Amino acid sequence: MDAMTSYDSMPDAPGAAETSLPAALTAFIDLDAIAHNVGVVRAAAGTDVIAVVKANGYGHGAVPVARAALAAGAAELGVAHIGEALALREAGIDAHITAWLHTNHAPFDAAIGADIDVALSSRRQLALVADAARRLGRTATVTAKVDTGLNRSGVAADEWADFADDLAKAKADGAVRVRAIMCHLVRGDEPEHPLNSQQAERLDAAAADLVRLGSPAEVMHIANSPAALTRPDLARDLVRPGIALYGCTPIPERGDFGLVPAMTLRAEVALVKNLAAGQGVSYNHHWTSDRDTVIAVVPAGYADGVPRLLSNQMHVQVNGRGFPQVGRVCMDQFVIDLGPDGGGVAEGDVVELFGAGTGGAPIARDWADQIGTIDYEIITGIGARAHRQYVGGAASDDSAEQR
């Protein structure tokens, strides 16, 4: 756990010019936790894993997370946008990558050139990809993404028959290779809900259509994190976990499944000062001290992913002791109340905003519960100003590449 590296210091990372400066806010990413969580999901599902690293690896850093997940046994990678997949290719990652959310102006030519599996949600997308493949003289690798009930992206039920015909024709003339068929679950986090099985049945029927038309999919995947952990009957050939890889439980009422949170967010106390009784703190004085006390300024705010809605609600930990946040959370900073004795806190001390919950420290889900959201939103919202620092086995490999 000693080896550390910073993704911000990689040549293609945003903000690389500033990496020699000390960081006021640091997101420590435990790559050993990522590896552990891959193992947990594989064991629960009983099949191979597509590690979902979209949204910059859920805010953890797509490239280091992808490398750690693949080293731990993940078979493939998944992202939303082609641009995310191309960035992984540019970093030297040659694993199978599927991208599943596109506009009609998406860089399909680049995707085909980089051997990205393009998941298709409409006849229009299929036509664009097939035309690009013919123009390039290449065969595009594609996935049929079927809308089995989520009513979001995916081939609509009333378009499926025509899409399947078009796909068979494109396969027959060598424009596409039909690698997979997939769907997204509506109620994966409600494992017993009958719609989960109904969606699987609909996808099975769609797969049978492709077989009948002579364009069978090589593999099928349905299960997201909650389904991978609780519904092995839905696993099919691969499962597609996202949030579970990062150690956040997708079904909190069922426990943590043995997952380990991978991100710990820490800052440095910027300022300690006395506050007299009756004095307010931060904008509009939404908190006023009822006694003489000591306060500290923490250099993190809503621009960094600390929700303004958490104002006067969250607690942080300093030197193993919990302290309440008081007053409005600002763009760049918030204030904590150290109590009349100052809590033994000094400028430069480390503040843990959230992490693995060690010693009663907050976890990302605590923030989410307090403001009525989900921890997905919390961890993906941690901004670019937070310096990413990597801990764990795979971090040493990244360090070697930088020297």
What's the pLDDT score for residue 395? 58
Q: 318: which residues sit within 8 A by CB, 6+ positions away?
A: 269, 296, 336, 343, 345, 349, 350, 351, 352
**Burial call 43-70: b when 16+ CB within 10 Å, e when fewer:** ebbebbbbbbbbbbbbbbbbbbbbbbbb
pLDDT of 14: 37
Give the residue among 174, 166, 173, 83 at the shortest CA–CA distance from 124: 166
Catalytically annotated residue among 7, 54, 145, 246: 54
Averaged pLDDT, 349-354? 98
What is the SS3 string spanning 77-94?
EEECCHHHHHHHHHCCCC
**Would you state the pLDDT for residue 3?**
40
Q: Which of 7, 169, 171, 283 is catalytic?
A: 283
What average pLDDT does the segment 357-372 reach? 95
Is 328 annotated to bind ligand?
no
Cα separation, 130 vs 175, whole angstroms: 5
Q: Which residue carries 């109590």 as its tokens?
A: 339
**Superfamily covering domain 263-391:** Lyase, Ornithine Decarboxylase; Chain A, domain 1 (2.40.37.10)
Q: Alpha helix locations (H) across 21-174? A: 31-45, 54-58, 62-71, 82-90, 108-113, 123-136, 160-172
Please indicate if the annotation marks 331 as binding a ligand: yes
Q: How many helices (H) and strands (E) does the chain have?
A: 12, 20
Give 119-138 pLDDT, tens digit per residue.
999 999 999 999 999 999 99
Give mean pLDDT, residues 78-92.
98
Is pLDDT above 60 for 383?
Answer: yes
We find that the CATH architecture of domain 31-246 is: Alpha-Beta Barrel (3.20)
Q: What percent of the chain has a predicted confidence (pLDDT) above 90?
A: 91
Whole-number pLDDT of residue 369? 97
Residue 204: which pLDDT band, with cuts at 50, 70 and 90? very high
- Assess whether 283 carries a catalytic annotation: yes
Decide: pTM greater than 0.85.
Answer: yes
Residue 396 has pLDDT above 90, yes or no: no
pLDDT given at position 156: 98
Q: What is the mean pLDDT of residues 206-222?
A: 98
Domain ranges of the chain: 31-246, 263-391
Containing 145, the helix (H) or strand (E) segment is strand 140-145
7 is catalytic: no
Closest of 381, 284, 297, 368 to residue 334, by C-alpha: 297
